[in-house]
A and B are shown apart, each in its own frame.
Chain A
Amino acid sequence: MRPSRKMPSCLRRYRAAVALPLACACLAWTAGCGSTSTKQDPPRPVDLRPPATDAAAQSGPVAARQFSNRSRAGTYQISWQAIGQPIPLNEPFSLQVVISPAADPEARVSGAQIFVQASMPEHNHGMLREPRAHEIAPGIYRVEGMLLHMTGHWQIFVDVVKDGIAETADFELTLE
């Protein structure tokens, strides 16, 4: 699942492990997960390439892992990845988030407000930062100020606020 890295495995200090999207809509993406939802074709991969106008987003390697899930009410398909690196342990990083209508993954949802929070349920605390998002191209948002300071199981919540209605998509990851 993870891309190859240049450093030997024993020297890697951290890594993002398996993420298990919660929503059944996302489970329908993967074969062999027990889903019987075969009525629709799986959506094509979302293009997360940064726009040409955003020089910073173009620098560095493509992030290790892309997360994608449908919002709880099913309105949006939300995809994100860490910019420029695998998700680091206890170091600041940024996200690039792409919002699409669930019914049309090729389209983009612009003009939304994005809020990202993170929580460690096993620890009973959350992230010690409040990230901020801004739209860098139609439907593509950069979220700055992420910092996951501990190893373990994290829940990531991406809130999309559009036309006065908020929807949340849930993600899970494990940092080791």
Chain B
Amino acid sequence: MTLAALCACQAKETGSVSGPDSGPATREQGVQFSALELDRILSMSPLPPPPDDPTNSVHANAHAARLGQQLFFDTRLSKSRSTACSSCHDPELAWADGKALSEGVITLNRHAPSLLNVAHNRWLFWDGRADSLWAQALTPLEHPLEHASSRLQIAHTIHDDPDLRGAYEEIFGPMPDLGDRERFPAIGRPVSETEMAWIEDLARSKQDAGLAPEHRHRAGAHFIHPHQRAWDAMQEADQERVTRIFVNLGKSIAAFERQLVASASEFDSFVEGLRTGDPDKLAALDISAQRGLQLFVGRARCHICHQGPTLSDREFHDIGIPPSGAVRMTDLGRREGLKQVKEDPFNGMGQWSDDPEGLGRERIAFLPNHAHGSGAEFKTPSLRNVAVTAPYMHQGQMPTLSSVLEHYSNVSDTPERVLTPLHLSEQEHDDLIHFLESLTDTSVDSRLTVPPSPSRHQ
């Protein structure tokens, strides 16, 4: 098979391939991949369907996906009624926002990644503080700088909207009656100790800077967040009823996001050509992109971290990127994310998981107590659609693909000892860019790029 693919690759170099800079390819110019390179290339395509998520029993439920689609675009889930998931994950911007740092209530500390093929992730967020798509979807909803909402507000929003409530009950059964505002206040949620510590730090730093001395009383020792105060006033059984609604909504959003799959890039066509010998498929990559691909799986060793069909090892590394000057807080990356995901009540081993003894346990039970590196590590991003999802890195520090390659070309003093300066020539630099551009496919079903029509819930 390998030899057949190799022959097919050579046979197609007949002048039918052209690129913007390289001109027509010829047999003499054709890239000849070694058997090892071919093995590596073939391992990168095709992208299979997203894996099942047994921690979410409705991950493949079409009704849940439709409800999740409605919620994804619904600004009523935010405190200000102006922010939706789609605010930072815009279908028109490859399901990202094109900004270095995303905008919530204020400018946030991280760059929003694209959601294309997101269901292939093992960990969510740059620091992996969520271990499932549904657990991730819940976090921004209650984050005080993102949606800034609360599970009670969101539950009431669903409860009070006949369409949403009907869609919900079709999937999950009757909602509890939330009409009694004594039992079910308008807003409320449990506020984590992490968030309280953060609020106190923020208030303290503002006061130290002379910016907001009046805030001191809000961060005092006896301060109780109003969301927490309302939550504490509820009976435990009612808290569980509300949290169940909240979790079900997260699982529905995850079911929708699982459909955001795009796996028909030029690169995928080329790999199919390697397998079948189809000259039309092999023509999908021009000679420059082929040289870039050879670099990717060869001398540049990009494939070590950007491996497999997602072009990511789905784990965490410190590649020596300085923090953004626009972010004042120290970002500990995986060191903090590791702690958070283990403590997350919505992790795969928790009471809200549908498979706590299976995949949930596999994800959580064997995590170390501490990240192994002394520096801040962040998740290896997928390179699919990388050319249309600038800027790059966890805080958007790199504006272009060229700047990323410059980093790897001159990298020094990284904890990842395998990262040595590539010293890319100008042509190698361009070839790698051309290859990375061949990984683009944003062609998800256009019906997923807008809210579903209400009639679809009926």
- Interface, chain A (partner B; CB < 8 A): 8-14, 89-90, 92, 120-126, 128-132, 144-145, 147, 149-152, 176
Contact = CB atoms under 8 A, between A and B. Distances in A.
B453 interface: no
6 contacts: A92-B366, A120-B418, A124-B415, A125-B373, A145-B365, A150-B304
B42 interface: yes
Q: Chain A interface mostly helix, strand, loop or mixed?
A: loop
Contact of A150 (B38, B43, B313, B362): B313
Contact of B308 (A9, A10, A90, A124): A90
Contacts of A8: 1-2
Given A11-B42, A90-B313, A149-B313, 13 more contacts: A9-B39, A10-B1, A10-B2, A92-B362, A125-B317, A125-B416, A131-B366, A132-B365, A144-B366, A145-B362, A150-B315, A151-B303, A151-B307
Interface of B: 1-2, 5, 35-36, 38-39, 42-43, 303-305, 307-308, 313-317, 362, 365-369, 372-373, 415-418
Contacts of B317: 125
Contacts of B5: 10
A12 B314 CA distance: 20
B133 to A, nearest CB: 19
B434 to A, nearest CB: 24
A150 B366 contact: no
A72 B381 CA distance: 40
B354 to A, nearest CB: 19
Contacts of A151: 303-304, 307
B334 to A, nearest CB: 9
Contacts of B415: 124-125
Contact of A123 (B1, B308, B367, B417): B417
Contacts of A130: 366-369
A44 to B, nearest CB: 34
B417 A90 contact: no
A132 B35 CA distance: 37
Contacts of A122: 417-418
A52 B251 CA distance: 40
Contacts of A128: 315-316, 367-368, 372
B2 A9 contact: yes
